[in-house]
Amino acid sequence: MACIWRGGSCPGGARVYLAAIAIAMVGFNAIDAGSIILSAAAVMLASLAFTLRGGLKSVIWNDFVQFIVYAGAAVAVLIFLRAAIPLDNAALIDALRNAPDGTNKLRLFDFSTDLAKPFTVLAAVTGLFLLNTASSGLDQDTTQRLLASPDARTGARSLILSALASVPVIAIFVTIGLLLHIFYNRPDLMGATNTVSAQFAGEKITVFVHYILTQLPPGLRGLVTIGVIAAAVSTVTSALNSMSSVLVSDFYRPWREAHGGAADRHYVHAGRWGMAAVAVAMFATAVLSYYWQKHSDMPLLEFVLSVMVFAYAGLLGVYGVALFSTRGNTASVIAALLTGFVTVFLLQPFALGPQGLAFPYLLCIGTAAAAIVAAIPQGKKSA
């Protein structure tokens, strides 16, 4: 249940795996199983120390400082990378529009109806819309910050402003990706052949960190490395706090109150033990994600978002029924959460699912199945 209730260790563990890749390259110059496991453990221990020390306030302020560090590092990389490409802006734009494989790297919208493509307009208005709804409004990782706001208006404003603020940050990293395409894939324009080191087997998921380690000068490399580590810790601290809060508030405390209760200080200590339990679960999921992604053909971003679908399908189904009807009860909600998870699992290519169905559509199917189960019993009518 902890895996699918309000987000859970599934998406959190996938984010740990994502961070561990960068840490493994920086710290061990490798991305094998041992390096990933040690890096994931290091991220978990550092994040656990931050979270145990200061709780939610520590999480929020640490996330803010870490954001400034890695956003500043990204800007520095962007400037340095642009200076390394011997093209003016007009020639650079033309090169991106006319890639050697015939694609336009600057195309913003894909109106294809191919259900195997995860980032088309059709996917954006269906599964990706549901994914963002769950991530922004249902996942405890985000809602804990909103609940800490002094009032609903402030929480709503912060959510909107955070979405707007993410646009330039995303634009920076997308631009870095486009420039890396020119740097590594267009020797005809660069005047030299830049290859990704064979020790990383040419994996596309490591190109950005590979560039940091091999092309940046020492001072800038150190700044960006700190930014990578800051981003890694930032992805985990809030998840630890939020899932521990769920375990204690929604599960342990009601059970303990039914058996005599305890002092408030007891629940503070229980929350810390809950963080440790969540850390172990996220670490285990990160290790599982390494082996899962290694034997799949999905790019890293698509893989991480696919893992989130397991957690969000049941959650969205229950939310839709609760918002738009009076049907359902406690038993049907629990059954719906499990149904969403199982449905997405059965739709995986390694199970019974069809080959090539992108994760946004898996989320739509899983959400629909969970909603049907949640709505089976007639709920109590309001007075």
**Pairs from 190-194 (Cβ < 8 Å, separation ≥ 24):** 190/85, 190/86, 191/86
Longest dimension (CA), the chain: 75
Q: What pLDDT is recorded for position 364?
A: 95
Q: Which of 82-91, 103-112, 156-165 has the lowest mean pLDDT?
A: 156-165
Whether residue 351 lies inside any domain: the answer is yes
Q: Is residue 247 part of a domain?
A: no
Q: Is the pLDDT of residue 284 over 70?
A: yes
Cβ distance 148 to 138 under 8 Å? no
Least confident of 145-154, 184-193, 361-370: 145-154
Mean predicted confidence (pLDDT) in 212-238: 76
8 within some domain: no
Number of domains in the chain: 1
Q: What is the mean pLDDT of residues 45-63?
A: 71
Specify whether the CB–CB gap between 278 and 243 falls below 8 A: yes
Segment 168-179 shows an average pLDDT of: 91
Q: Is residue 316 part of a domain?
A: yes
**173/198 Cα distance (integer angstroms):** 24
Which helix (H) or strand (E) segment holds residue 128: the answer is helix 127-137
Q: What is the per-residue pLDDT across 239-274, written as a single tens digit (0 to 9) for each?
A: 777 778 778 888 888 888 888 878 888 888 888 888
Q: What is the pLDDT of residues 96-124, one digit of tens each?
A: 998 888 888 998 899 999 998 999 999 99
Checking if the pLDDT of 197 tops 60, the result is no
Residue 298, CA distances (Å) to 210, 214, 252 in order:
20, 26, 38
For residue 28, what pLDDT is reported? 78
pTM: 0.78
In angstroms, how far is CA 359 from the centroid of its own chain? 14
Residue range 199-220: mean pLDDT, rounded: 70
Which of these, 23, 60, 27, lies nearest to 43 by C-alpha position?
Answer: 23
Give the pLDDT mean for 275-283. 86
Report d(CA 308, CA 349) in Å as an integer.
16
Identify the residue with better confidence: 29 or 280. 280
| Alpha helices, H only, 247-299 | 253-258, 264-294
- pLDDT band of residue 192 (cuts 50, 70, 90) is confident
> Is 343 domain-assigned?
yes
Q: By three-state DSSP, how is residue 76 classified?
A: helix
* 340 belongs to a structural domain: yes
Range of the domain at 350: 296-383
Chain-wide mean pLDDT for the chain?
81
Is 15 inside any structural domain? no
Structure confidence at residue 66 (pLDDT): 73
Domain contains 260: no
pLDDT at 353: 60
